[in-house]
Structure 1
Amino acid sequence: MNSQQKKWAYLSLLSLVWGSSFILMKKALIGVSPMQLGALRMIITAIFLGLIGFKSLKKIQKKHWIYIVYTALLGTFIPGFLFAYAVNVIDSSIVSILNSFTPFNTLIFGALFFGFAFKKQQLIGIVVGLLGALVLILEGAVLNPNQNYWFALLIIIASVGYSFNANIVKKHLQDLDALAITTGNFLLLLIPALIVLICTDFFTTFETTDEGIESLGYITILSVVGTGIAKTIFNKLVQISTPIFSSSVTYLIPVVAILWGVIDGEKLSWIQFLAGIVILFGVYLVNKKK
């Protein structure tokens, strides 16, 4: 398989895995709180990666560690809790669509902080995508008056973290093994995540009921496949392509997430569906080559 085929294979695989992660978070939250979900996800992922990727840590040089810290915080720790809170309040399918802001932010912050240039066409695409997202949020607030759509801001903030993560990996960790990056990220987060979990009184309040055990099952799948393996694949994708191309996975994720959401009984109006198409058109403009 050549580099071009690998790029699209990784992109397709990530869209399936991460597209399914939203419904897994929704199901897991039946038995745990958002803070517990975020912390458990990082702890289980860290243990998994420690078992399979510990030897890869030898490849990390002293110059890499500061960027490993940045990507751990911006690309995993902060977004992990923000997404857990958002999915707990807003339909998982809507959260997945809002996650499509990531490529836009990757472009914007790449230009501001990493030396990438803007094109007029890309700027138009960003504006189109933002309008689509605004319609999506406003219509969602009308369709689901019991849901607090202010929590949509959490996804926007998380997407900023993801955008910095992609740009940092491309510019400063290009020469480092993808598994080493991911393993380093989560081993750094193991102690902070454990402290957060202890502060939630998880070990004294968690009940080993069928509901609780089922939640832990969903979190384990989410951690091992949706985080540990998927993050490694994403880091590799960034290295063999570009931050913008890699972040474009967030445009495909909603297709999978919406299907899961509809199966689970979530509502999606035609206006929201059209708003999603508008966002995708904005994406097309951002990524279209002349």
Structure 2
Amino acid sequence: MSNRDLLAENALKAWGFLIVLALIWGSSFILIKRGLEVFSPGEVGAFRIVAAGLFLLPLSLPRLKSLNKRQVKNLLIVGLVGSFIPAFLFAKAQTQLSSSLTGVFNAMTPLFVVIIGALFFNSKITQRNLIGLLIAFVGVVLLLMVKDTGFGGFTDINSYAFYVLLACCCYGVNLNIIKYRFVELKPVAITAISITMVLPAALVYLFAATDFSFKIVHVAGAWQAAGLISLLGIVGTALALILFNVMVKVATPVFASSVTYLIPIVAIMWGLLDGETLLFGHYIGIIAVIFGVWVGNRK
């Protein structure tokens, strides 16, 4: 196969991965919404981690013995800020926030990566990054203040959006740790082991501190909701992260990051199909957020 044919094949694979990932991650928010119809936010978050962790055990267990203490410490942090804590934050946010808007707020993740990197990991923040942050921030403020009667004041802000922004901050910490402290471990190993390390905490919380076991047996629709959360954990967390790592190998990092702009579109489509309503002010805010993220991430 010639270099030209190889490049064309890799480009086709990259576009395929991009579309699949956008569909998977963009659909995560509607799955959380369905899970919340039966389970509490804590149950949804914990069971999501349990499903992902059990699925990844065959990949993680053989690699545990080769880790040193520093790697164990960093992988535990990655498991907490990259998977465990955000799973609970997203579920909590969607008790008072539509799945479509949650997907839009999630698009702020790349900008939090830049902010956290500049503050704690000595990475540079450019003028373009700052402009993008400002535009996206304006978009977020608009989304927070939109009401049926127009734009409300600061007293009308939906505070549950801050759960999503805190989750994005966690992702920012997570990605910087992976970038600067794990040059010797492969991304798939990082994903599998880090989620496995927080699996015991998720299991203890789920079965000792919630009514999950009772609901599975006695509540109508619980098995269907649990199945959707399992899908969220296995496909939306475990397989999607592995697929993303594969895409990074066949495409440029800039191309891979463009999935960020497609996720809100998929989330909005699911939300509208599910009867959610977006007002004119929401669309202005959405455009500002996505445009700001695009500006801030341009190379």
The alignment's TM-score, normalised by the length of structure 1, stands at: 0.88
| 2:259 corresponds to 1:252 | no
Change (3 A) 1:111 1:102: same
- Find out whether 1:36 has 2:43 as its counterpart: yes
Give 1:207 shift.
3.6
> What one-letter code is carried by the residue in structure 2 that aligns with 1:121?
R
Distance change (3 Å), C-alpha of 1:210 and 1:202: closer
1:112–1:183 distance in 2 versus 1, CA, 3 Å: same
Give distance in 1, aligned partners of 2:269 and 2:37: 20
Aligned-pair CA distance for 1:29: 1.1
Give the unaligned 5+ runs of structure 1.
none
Q: Match of 2:45, as an amino acid?
A: G
What is the Cα deviation at residue 149 of structure 1?
Answer: 1.6
Q: 1:222 to 1:143 in 2, by over 3 A?
A: farther
Unpaired segments of 5 or more residues in structure 2? 1-5
Contact 1:169 1:238 in 2 (8 A): no
Q: Counterparts of 1:78 and 1:57 in 2: how far apart (Å)?
A: 22
| SS of residue matched to 1:88 | coil
Partner amino acid, structure 1, of 2:103 = S
Q: How far, CA to CA, are the matches of 1:88 and 1:228 in structure 2?
A: 24
Which residue matches 2:116? 109
Bigger radius of gyration among the two: 2
Which of 123, 133, 136 matches 2:143?
136
What CA distance in whole angstroms lies between the structure 1 residues aligned with 2:189 and 2:148? 42
| Aligned 8 A contact 1:182 1:232 in 2 | yes
Q: Does the Cα contact within 8 Å between 2:81 and 2:174 map onto a contact in 1?
A: yes
| Match status 1:213 vs 2:223 | yes
Contact 1:178/1:236, CA 8 A, preserved across alignment:
no
**For residues 1-290 of structure 1, what are the structure 2 equivalents within 5 Å?**
5=11, 9-57=16-64, 60-139=67-146, 149-197=158-206, 198-235=208-245, 249-289=259-299
Asked if the contact 2:60–2:196 (Cα under 8 Å) also holds between the matched residues in 1, the reply is: no
How much is the aligned-residue C-alpha RMSD, in angstroms? 2.8
Cα 1:244–1:34 shift into 2, 3 Å: farther
Change in 2 beyond 3 A, CA 1:266/1:90: same
State the alpha-carbon separation in 2 of the partners of residues 211 and 204 from structure 1: 13
CA–CA separation in structure 1 for the residues paired with 2:14 and 2:130 = 25
Indicate conservation of the 8 Å contact 2:21/2:240, yes or no.
yes
For 2:150 and 2:95, locate their aligned partners in 1 and report how far apart those are by CA, in whole Å.
Answer: 17
Count of aligned pairs between the two proteins:
288
Moved more, 254-263 or 164-173: 164-173
